[in-house]
Structure 1
Amino acid sequence: MTEQFPSPVHHDDIITRHLCMAADVEKYSRLDTPVQEAVQADLVRVLEEAAVLSGLDRTDWHRQPQGDQEFAVLPLETPEPMVLGGFVRNLAVRLGERNANTAESGRMRLRLAIDFGVARTAALGHSGPAPVSVARYLNAPQLKQVLEGMESTDLALIVSDRVYQDVVRLRGEGQSLDPRRYLRVHVSQKEFSGYGWIHVPEHAPEELEPLVEEPPSGTEAPVTAPAPTHVVKRNKGGVFHFGSGDAARRINKKP
């Protein structure tokens, strides 16, 4: 007898928009199996702790674990400013506390992407434009470059232009959101193209800009040139230090 599985229920007459979020662990595939298992457990734990500290209930989130990554569709009534404000700040703190007691080789660093739009439950997870756009933002080269280049941080966030304009630009209703601390980038991934805004807690956009700069049109980035171990870029606002080769290669030096 063939086992019958129920088909997903589609409500074509109801369009619901949700806040969608994805968190991904940097360089997870380089870890051995026992460390991967520990990192997965710690990822769930820090997300849970950040939610509790922010007054959010993760038991109501529709979560879709994917090994080194978790995608979640949040309930309709979720306060968006609370997610972008308190949750992001608390997540950065919990990551820092976790990594302070961990060897550098076991350090856990996250990319976080957030968008708002149509998302529905499907047979293998979720369908709709919002889950797709969150995946594209999460894998944006600029976000990866920022996290790789800024060794002093454990969290890099990107939000869609829609979320930035509707929530961040209006300063988040008491959540102390500062639109001046976000850097706009253009994301082009597969068939997706749109603007996103990158934010790294405790860091200004001026520190992120050298990490996302593209080489001038018609020029090629050097492939074999050695990367400096320490580069200093001076701006009007102060002195910014970059120890990453990626950052160093993107700084236009004066002769």
Structure 2
Amino acid sequence: MTAHPQSQEIITRHLCMAADVEKYSRLDTPDQEAFQADLVRVLEEAAVLSGLDRTAWERQPQGDQEFAVLPVGTPEPVVLGGFVRNLAIRLGERNANRAEEQRMRLRLAIDYGVARTAALGYSGPAPVSVARYLNAPQLKRVLEALDSTDLALIVSARVFQDVVRLRGEGQGLDPRRYVRVHVRQKEFSDYGWIHVPEHGPEELQPLVADPEPDAAPAPVTSTVVKDNKDGVFHFGSGDAARTMHKKYYR
């Protein structure tokens, strides 16, 4: 058997996650700093409450959002179950009795795949897909429309099939509470599944439905004038009257 060179890299797949603060740009500088600190805090508290070791996550802060690559072996059902529930709870507690403009509301996206460190962060299909899912217009519409919630989650089709549909042992995952959407962002096109804690699919479906395409415009036809041998002018259009014959009365 031929030995592989020791320098050959082993491809590993990770659970990747991104959390983004809604309407962050509306905040002034002190509030932005406070929101960033609170984002880190609620993510850490949700992880601790779920039994996850967030110190092992490879994290890339980006101001109003955080991207994280979770270590190999992280229990996916715990992330999709306990962590998401605890994050929603911690956000609710953080936002309690605050003015509307001080509420912190999050979009959360999760996918599974290859993610490798690079000069400016991470490379690979999973970081790209997480970014596209996070900016899905359907996810933004859901969070904007459901004022009573502070968290909207989207997972990739592979995460839904491999984790959610198996219901996650002891994590209470229910695939019936997710709705499927087709995400098209830049060159990316794939299906994802949206879930909002405490909200059922009957509330989500109208919000994620793609807008009806505009009615096709009526074909444009050119009106032309023709005459007959008796000197009477007639009006026609389309292929039957492409040519205008200019004649004058005598």
Give the structure-2-normalised TM-score.
0.82
Map of 1:134 onto structure 2: 130
Letter in 2 for 1:88: V
SS of equivalent to 2:168: helix
Over 3 Å counting, the alpha-carbon distance change for 1:183 and 1:106 in structure 2 is same
- RMSD over aligned CA atoms reads 1.2
Structure 1 CA distance for aligned equivalents of residues 8 and 126 of structure 2: 17
Superposed, which structure 2 residues align to 1:108-127 within 5 Å?
108-127=104-123
| 1:87 maps to which of 80, 83, 90 | 83
Superposed, which structure 2 residues align to 1:14-29 within 5 Å?
14-29=10-25
Map of 2:199 onto structure 1: 203
Map of 1:180 onto structure 2: 176
Structure 2 CA distance for aligned equivalents of residues 190 and 72 of structure 1: 22
Structure number with bigger Rg: 2
How many residue pairs match? The answer is 210
Question: Cα offset for 1:217?
Answer: 2.5
Structure 2 CA distance for aligned equivalents of residues 215 and 33 of structure 1: 36
Question: Cα offset for 1:216?
Answer: 2.3
**Mind listing any 5+ residue stretches in structure 2 that lack a counterpart?**
1-6, 217-250
Q: Residues 74-114 of structure 1: CA distance to partner in whole angstroms, max 9, x if unpaired?
A: 00010000000000000000000000032211100000000
**Mind listing any 5+ residue stretches in structure 1 that lack a counterpart?**
1-10, 221-255
Does 1:48 find its partner at 2:30?
Answer: no
Structure 2 CA distance for aligned equivalents of residues 154 and 20 of structure 1: 21
Structure 1 CA distance for aligned equivalents of residues 19 and 36 of structure 2: 11
SS of equivalent to 1:176: coil
Structure 2 CA distance for aligned equivalents of residues 22 and 196 of structure 1: 15
SS of equivalent to 1:174: coil
Over 3 Å counting, the alpha-carbon distance change for 1:219 and 1:152 in structure 2 is farther
Letter in 2 for 1:55: G
Q: Residues 19-48 of structure 1: CA distance to partner in whole angstroms, max 9, x if unpaired?
A: 000000000001111111100000000000
| 2:156 maps to which of 160, 164, 172 | 160
Q: Residues 182-241 of structure 1: CA distance to partner in whole angstroms, max 9, x if unpaired?
A: 000000000100000000001001101111222322349xxxxxxxxxxxxxxxxxxxxx
Structure 2 CA distance for aligned equivalents of residues 12 and 126 of structure 1: 19
SS of equivalent to 1:171: coil
Over 3 Å counting, the alpha-carbon distance change for 1:41 and 1:120 in structure 2 is same
Map of 2:95 onto structure 1: 99
Does 1:151 find its partner at 2:147?
Answer: yes
Letter in 1 for 2:103: R
Question: Cα offset for 1:12?
Answer: 5.2
Question: Cα offset for 1:143?
Answer: 0.3
Structure 2 CA distance for aligned equivalents of residues 137 and 118 of structure 1: 16
Give the structure-1-normalised TM-score.
0.81
Over 3 Å counting, the alpha-carbon distance change for 1:12 and 1:157 in structure 2 is farther
Map of 1:247 onto structure 2: none
Structure 1 CA distance for aligned equivalents of residues 8 and 60 of structure 2: 23
Structure 2 CA distance for aligned equivalents of residues 160 and 76 of structure 1: 18
Letter in 2 for 1:44: V
